[in-house]
Chains A and B, each alone.
Chain A
Amino acid sequence: MGGGDGALTPPRWLRWSWVAPAAFLLVFLAYPLVVLIVTVTRTSEGALLDRLASPVIWQVTALATVQALMSTVLALVVGLPLANVTSRYRYRGRAFAQAVVTVPFVLPTVVVALAFRSVVGVGPSQGFWIVVLAHAYVNIAVVTRIVGAQWAQHSGDYELVARTLGATRTRAFIDVTLPSLRSAIAASAAVVFVFSFTSLGIVLLLGDASTRTLESQVLRQTSVLLDFPGAAATALVQLVVVTFVLLLGAAAARRAPARRSRPVSLRPLPPSAIGRAAVLATAGIGMLIVLVPVLALVITSLRGSDGWTLTWWTSLSSIDAGTTRLAPPAAAIATSLVLATVTALLAALVGGLAALTVLTPGRPRLVALIAVVPLGVSAATLGLGMLLAFGRPPLDLRASGLLIPIAHSLVAIPLVVAVVAPGVRSTDPRLASVAATLGATPSRAFWTAYGPVLRIVMVASAALAGAVSLGEFGAAAFLGRAASPTVPVQIVRLLGRPGEQSLGVAAVLAVILVIVTLAVVLIVDRWSAPARSSVRAPATVTP
Chain B
Amino acid sequence: MTTRELLTPPRLAVEDLALGYEGVTFLTGVSLTVAASEIVAILGPSGSGKSTLLGEIAGVVPIPAGRILVDGTDVTTEPIHARGVGLIFQEPLLFPHLDVAANIAYGLRRHGWSKAAAAGRAGELLAWLGLEGYQRRRVGELSGGQAQRVALARALAPKPAVLCLDEPFSALDADLRRRLVTDVSAMLREAGVAAIHVTHDEDEARAIADRVIELSSLGRPR
Physical interaction between A and B? yes
Which residue of the partner chain B has the closest CB to A268?
B22
Which residue of the partner chain A has the closest CB to B46?
A543
Query: Other CB < 8 Å A-B pairs besides A158-B93, A165-B81, A543-B21, 6 of them?
Result: A157-B91, A162-B95, A164-B81, A164-B155, A180-B97, A541-B60
For chain B, the count of residues having a C-beta within 8 Å of the partner chain is 45
A537 to B: closest C-beta gap in Å: 13
Contact B58 A164 (CB under 8 A): yes
B199: interface (CB < 8 Å): no
With contact pairs A161-B93, A257-B140 given, residues A166 and B62 touching in the complex (Cβ less than 8 Å): no
Q: State the total of A-B contacts with C-beta under 8 angstroms.
A: 97
Contact with B along A526-543 (1 / 0, CB 8 A): 000000000000001111
Can you list the 10 inter-chain pairs with the closest CB atoms, starting with the nearest? A165-B107, A166-B110, A163-B80, A257-B96, A541-B55, A179-B97, A164-B87, A543-B52, A271-B62, A543-B49
A337 surroundings in chain B (CB, below 8 A): none
B155 surroundings in chain A (CB, below 8 A): 164-165
Contact with B along A229-266 (1 / 0, CB 8 A): 00000000000000000000000000001110000000
A175: interface (CB < 8 Å): yes
Chain B contacts with A in 41-89, Cβ cutoff 8 A:
46-52, 54-55, 58-62, 79-83, 85-87, 89
Contact A157 B96 (CB under 8 A): no
Chain A contacts with B in 411-438, Cβ cutoff 8 A:
none
For chain A, the count of residues having a C-beta within 8 Å of the partner chain is 28
B11: interface (CB < 8 Å): no
Residues of B within 8 A of A (CB): 19, 21-22, 24, 26, 46-52, 54-55, 58-62, 79-83, 85-87, 89, 91, 93, 95-97, 106-107, 110-111, 138, 140, 154-155, 157-158, 160, 166
Which residue of the partner chain A has the closest CB to B83?
A164
- Which of B24, B87, B111 sits near A161, CB closer than 8 Å? B87
A541 surroundings in chain B (CB, below 8 A): 21, 51-52, 54-55, 60-61, 166
CA of A163 to CA of B81, assembled, Å:
5
CA of A335 to CA of B79, assembled, Å:
63
- Which of A165, A167, A182 sits near B86, CB closer than 8 Å? A165
Contact A161 B21 (CB under 8 A): no
CA of A169 to CA of B59, assembled, Å:
13
Chain A contacts with B in 137-185, Cβ cutoff 8 A:
157-158, 160-169, 171-172, 175-176, 179-180, 182
CA of A541 to CA of B198, assembled, Å:
13
A257 surroundings in chain B (CB, below 8 A): 96-97, 138, 140
CA of A271 to CA of B89, assembled, Å:
22
Contact A157 B89 (CB under 8 A): yes
Contact B96 A259 (CB under 8 A): yes
A168 surroundings in chain B (CB, below 8 A): 79, 81
B87 surroundings in chain A (CB, below 8 A): 160-161, 164
Can you list 12 A-B contacts with CB-CB less than 8 angstroms, sorted by A residue number? A157-B93, A160-B58, A160-B87, A163-B79, A164-B86, A165-B154, A166-B107, A541-B51, A541-B60, A542-B21, A542-B22, A543-B51
Which residue of the partner chain B has the closest CB to A160?
B60
Contact B54 A166 (CB under 8 A): no
A169 surroundings in chain B (CB, below 8 A): 79, 81
- Which of B21, B91, B106 sits near A162, CB closer than 8 Å? B106
Contact A176 B52 (CB under 8 A): no
- Which of A161, A164, A171, A259 sits near B85, CB closer than 8 Å? A164
CA of A175 to CA of B107, assembled, Å:
11
Chain A contacts with B in 162-214, Cβ cutoff 8 A:
162-169, 171-172, 175-176, 179-180, 182
Contact A180 B96 (CB under 8 A): yes
CA of A172 to CA of B82, assembled, Å:
13
CA of A268 to CA of B82, assembled, Å:
24
B149 to A: closest C-beta gap in Å: 15
CA of A259 to CA of B138, assembled, Å:
13
Chain A contacts with B in 502-543, Cβ cutoff 8 A:
540-543
Which residue of the partner chain A has the closest CB to B157?
A165
Contact B95 A176 (CB under 8 A): yes
A162 surroundings in chain B (CB, below 8 A): 95, 106, 110
Which residue of the partner chain B has the closest CB to A159?
B80
B51 surroundings in chain A (CB, below 8 A): 541-543
CA of A100 to CA of B201, assembled, Å:
48
A543 surroundings in chain B (CB, below 8 A): 19, 21, 24, 26, 46-52
Which residue of the partner chain B has the closest CB to A172?
B81
Contact with B along A247-291 (1 / 0, CB 8 A): 000000000011100000000100100000000000000000000
- Which of B24, B140, B158, B166 sits near A166, CB closer than 8 Å? B158
CA of A271 to CA of B50, assembled, Å:
21
A175 surroundings in chain B (CB, below 8 A): 95, 106
